[in-house]
Amino acid sequence: MKKILLVAVVFVSSFAQAQQEIKADLFDALAFKTLELSYEYYTTERSSIGISALFNFEKRSADFKYNEKQMFTPFFRHYFTDSSNWNYFGEVFMGINTGEREVTVEGTTLKQYKEYTDGALGIAFGSKYVSSGGFVLDIYGGLGRNLFTSESRAVVPRVGINLGYRF
């Protein structure tokens, strides 16, 4: 999994002439003990492609947490205006996620955890602010649906408040 992420970052970083952004999700880090990092590459003035990597460090016993342990999310964004500061966007994403689900052993009250890997397809909407110095703030929310196994949760959230830098 690390090799795939490394190859993707090297491939995307080879396009050094266009606008690029690196961001971290501040909301996830503070609220959920989760680290989410994103890279975004602008293909035109109104569209971009990118990838996010989410790592969940929250314990099983936490009352409120992401169900996913890890999630790698390639995405495509289309921006609705040409504004240089505030802009609104729609996003289509494919989230490849891993996690575990609590299951009860038949005939007993014992609970076990079963690991899964699944892929979710979804949409999100948001807004982005870019300062003249390159500071980036984007806020987005959306939902995806896991498609390939019954072991995973049906719905995957995609929410965030990202802070980053455009270069």
**In CATH, what number is assigned to the domain containing residue 60?**
2.40.160.20
Residue 15 belongs to a domain? no
Domain housing 39: 22-166
Residue 60 belongs to a domain? yes
Which tokens go with 103?
């299951």
Residue 64 belongs to a domain? yes
Contact 93, 64 (CB under 8 A): no
Residues forming beta bridges with residue 114, ordered by sequence position? 101
What is the per-residue pLDDT for 110?
A: 84
Q: How many CB atoms lie within 10 A of CB 104?
A: 10
Residue 62 belongs to a domain? yes
Helices (H) and strands (E) in the chain, counts: 2, 8
Residue 3 belongs to a domain? no
Residue 6 belongs to a domain? no
Helix residue spans in the chain (DSSP H): 2-13, 26-32
Distance between CA 57 and CA 28 in Å, rounded? 11
Residue 154 belongs to a domain? yes
Q: What is this structure's pTM?
A: 0.82
pLDDT tens for the 167 residues of the chain, in order: 666 665 565 555 554 557 999 999 998 888 888 999 999 999 999 999 999 999 999 887 666 677 789 999 999 999 998 877 899 999 999 999 999 888 888 888 888 888 999 999 999 999 999 999 999 999 999 999 999 988 888 999 999 999 999 99
